[in-house]
Amino acid sequence: MSAPAAPARSGPSPRGLLTIAAVVVALILPLILPVFQVTLLTNILIFSIVVTGLVLLTGVVGLTSFGHAAFMGVGAYTTAILSTRLGLSPWLGLLAGFAVTGAVAAFLGLITLRMQGHYLPLATIAWGISLYYVFGNTPALGGNTGLTDIPALSLFGLRLTGSRQFAYLALLSLGLVALGAQFLLSSRTGRAMRALRGGPLVAEAFGVNLFALRVQVFVLSALMASLAGWLYAHNQRFLNPTPFGLNSGIEYLFMAVVGGSGQVWGGVLGAGLVTQLRETLRDVLPGLLGQQGNFETVVFGLLVILVLQFARRGLWPLVERALPQDGLKLLPAGATLPRRPQPTPGGPLLQVERAVKTFGGLRAVSDVSFELRAGEILGLIGPNGAGKSTMFNLITGVNPASSGVIRFAGQDVTRATAGQIHRLGISRTFQHVKVLPELTLLENAMMGGYARGKAGMLASLLRLERREEAALQHEALSQLQRVGLGAQAYALAGNLPLGQQRILEVARALVGDPSLLLLDEPAAGLRYGEKMELVGLLRRLRDEGITVLIVEHDMELVMNLVDRLVVMNSGEKLAEGSPPEVRASPAVREAYLGVDMTGEGAA
């Protein structure tokens, strides 16, 4: 049965037509609005660039930053100093701002992004305040008085001194930033970014360097803020520290949350809504209340509370529901991904020698040894608390062994990371289903091939990885078809029943082109018919040369599926052998007292 194709399109999609209409309106607005409204529009466009960076960092990756206004200040002050004090071109100031901001962001990211929970937001507040006081207390930066006479920008000999002219530059800048962000999110790197928030264990298991990717996204978002700062400096032509303080950083987060922090256009919506509302409230509230004050801040606080209560994903998803959905576009088939040579059947593939794992005074795995041969299905079983999951984690690199040796394909992987082990040819599923529910089955499956790609963040931003992306798409589609989910490739993973989500995990693991497939309780939650389909699938995979290690509680399934069994109890190996040999062992029967180990009735 052939894989389903994406729906054919004879012309621009409805959403594409809406995008074209939005661009046309945006191009017309600077021509027809009053000058004050054009200035406000320019500010909205500049703020949207900062918020787009926060969408990537906070909404997609899940790292909260209150200090991005300070990065905007670094870009602004860098170009201001170079153009006013040294007389250099503002365009050189843009590049210098990127360099300085990137260096500062990389340093801060390296020392803060390992923090978890509330410690990271607190750290961003700390360095955001620190940079703000650097701006205000450094005489060379003009102190709190600020810098004046910042030169106007010139583009192709045209001085951008008018509000309408500058609005177009800001619009172009936002368009490029938003387009690059959309390209990034629809790439290999973008899927890894989404996995950082929704399932970091999944991302690491398929070869993502979690910390390195967090730092890269952090620096990218800071560079976007630097671009906004450069625009702000040459638009206002005057700088002081006020726009780059903690209050502004909080306001940018407000914009992201209100608009929808998970989507680029949500950030743009939030920036426009909050900026326009702020200006309106500043005009209206003093007249209503009869006194001056920053009462708009109170309204913003109430607005955020209401959004979090009734539209936790922001306002843009509400808009999305009314828009026609395009779905995922399948790229034309081209080159295929390289495949690893499969090991010789019958030869040793995985060797565990005297593995020990202790947690404090608890000895979870104690001197366990066994061997897995290429081309077989080996079952790892035992009662609850036997140490099976811990052994599974030692093999996959989630937890390193306290002592002993684990070898895969002749290489010592005892201290290797999960990503390094995956790249050698091991793919896995998880005891508790870990799919990305807001992505399609095809996109979830493509996550399994992350290590087979090479395109990085820059190539993704510039859309230079389409050939590799096409190969990965068709590989994922092929594996979905292989496990019987091809007809649902474009459905959202979160809409699948539990049994099919577990099969989706198998497809995702297969996209990694494994020599060894590790399955952690794949039959949990499956109905009888689904279990029989799983048995048939695993037997086909074995016949095709894939070796399988399965941890499972369902004795009926295990006894009629595997070639050999390793039985664990209380952290030790209790028995090893064929299913009949294990079934006949008195020690195993005692450990499984009350459990039917006959395996009768299985297909």
**pLDDT score recorded for residue 603:** 38
Higher-pLDDT residue of 146, 174? 174
Tell me the Cα Rg of the chain. Answer: 28
Residues 6+ apart with CB under 8 A from 330: 5, 6, 473, 477
Residues 473, 331 contacting (CB under 8 angstroms): yes
- What is the distance between the alpha carbons of residues 160 and 145, in angstroms, rounded to a whole number? 25
Residue 329's pLDDT is 77
Distances (CA, A) of 269 to 256, 275, 323, 529: 8, 10, 15, 48
pLDDT reading at 1 higher than 70? no
* Residue 395 in tokens: 């093999």
Q: How confident is the model at residue 299 (pLDDT cuts 50, 70, 90)?
A: confident
- Burial, 351: exposed, middle or buried (Cβ in 10 Å; 0-12, 13-18, 19+)? middle
Give residue-wise pLDDT tens across range 234-276: 999 999 999 999 999 999 999 999 999 889 999 999 999 999 9
Burial of 349 (0-12, 13-18, 19+ CB in 10 A): buried
**Rounded mean pLDDT of 430-450?**
92
Q: Quick one: tokens of 162?
A: 């008018």
pLDDT computed for residue 601 by the predictor:
45
Residues 6+ away with beta carbon under 8 Å from 294: none
List beta partners, residue 573: 568
CATH class of 426-513: alpha beta
**Encoding tokens for residue 163?**
């509000």
Distance of CA 581 to the CA centre of its chain: 46
Q: What is the pTM of this model?
A: 0.90
pLDDT category at 427 given cuts 50, 70, 90 is very high
- pLDDT, residue 265, reads 92
Would you state the pLDDT for residue 2? 46
Enter the tokens of residue 101.
């901001």
Residues 317-331: what's their mean pLDDT? 77
CA 156 from centre of chain = 39
Of the chain, the percentage scoring pLDDT greater than 90 comes to 60
Give residue 67's identity as a one-letter amino acid code: G
Q: For residue 385, which amino acid is it?
A: G
499-509 tens-digit pLDDT: 889 999 999 99
The predicted-structure confidence for 414-423, as pLDDT tens digits, reads as follows 999 999 999 9
Question: What pLDDT score does 598 carry?
Answer: 57
**Three-state SS across 336-375?**
CCCCCCCCCCCCEEEEEEEEEEEECCEEEEEEEEEEEECC
Long-range contacts of 216-219 (CB under 8 A, 24+ apart): 216/457, 217/56, 217/57, 217/60, 217/61, 217/63, 217/193, 217/457, 218/57, 218/63, 218/65, 218/105, 218/108, 218/109, 218/113, 219/102, 219/105, 219/106, 219/109
Domain 345-425+547-603 and domain 426-513 have a common topology: yes
Q: What backbone torsions phi and psi does residue 54 show, to the nearest 5 degrees? A: -70, -30
pLDDT of residue 11: 55
Task: Give the pLDDT of residue 38.
Answer: 94
What's the pLDDT score for residue 422?
93
Q: Which residues 6+ apart lie within 8 Å of 121 measured at CB?
A: 64, 65, 66
pLDDT tens-digit readout, 504-557: 999 999 999 999 999 998 888 788 888 888 888 899 988 888 999 999 888 888
- Rounded Cα gap, residues 419 and 451, in angstroms: 8
CA distance 266 to 198: 19
- Rounded Cα distance, 52 and 255, in Å: 10
What homologous superfamily does CATH list for 345-425+547-603? Answer: P-loop containing nucleotide triphosphate hydrolases (3.40.50.300)
pLDDT digits (tens, 9 = 90+) for 9-56: 445 666 777 788 888 998 999 999 999 999 999 999 999 999 999 999
Residues 6 or more apart whose Cβ sits within 8 Å of residue 93: 78, 79, 80, 82, 83, 230
In this structure, are strands 403-408 and 411-412 parallel, antiparallel, or unpaired? antiparallel
**Locus of tokens 């990065």:** 71
How does DSSP assign 78-134, residue by residue?
Answer: HHHHHHHTS---HHHHHHHHHHHHHHHHHHHHHHHTT--TTHHHHHHHHHHHHHHHH
The mean pLDDT value for 300-328 works out to: 81
Q: What is the percentage of the chain residues whose pLDDT exceeds 70?
A: 95
Question: Which of helix, strand or coil describes residue 565?
Answer: strand
Instruction: Report the mean per-residue pLDDT for the chain.
Output: 89
CA angle, corner 421, sides to 404 and 390, nearest 5?
50
Cα 200 to the chain's mean position, in Å? 8
| Residue pLDDT, tens place only, 89-140 | 999 999 999 999 999 999 999 999 989 888 999 999 999 999 999 999 999 8
* Residue appearing with tokens 């619009």: 171
pLDDT in tens, 560-603: 899 999 999 889 999 999 999 988 888 888 877 556 555 554 43
- Provide, for the chain, the percentages of residues in helix, strand and coil under a 3-state DSSP scheme, each rounded to the nearest 5: 55, 10, 30
pLDDT (0 to 100) of residue 61:
94
> How many other CB atoms are found less than 10 A from the CB of residue 302?
10
According to DSSP, the β-strands at 362-373 and 154-155 are unpaired
End-to-end CA separation in angstroms for the chain: 24
- Is 224 or 537 the better-scoring residue by pLDDT? 224
**Domain boundaries in the chain?**
36-243, 345-425+547-603, 426-513
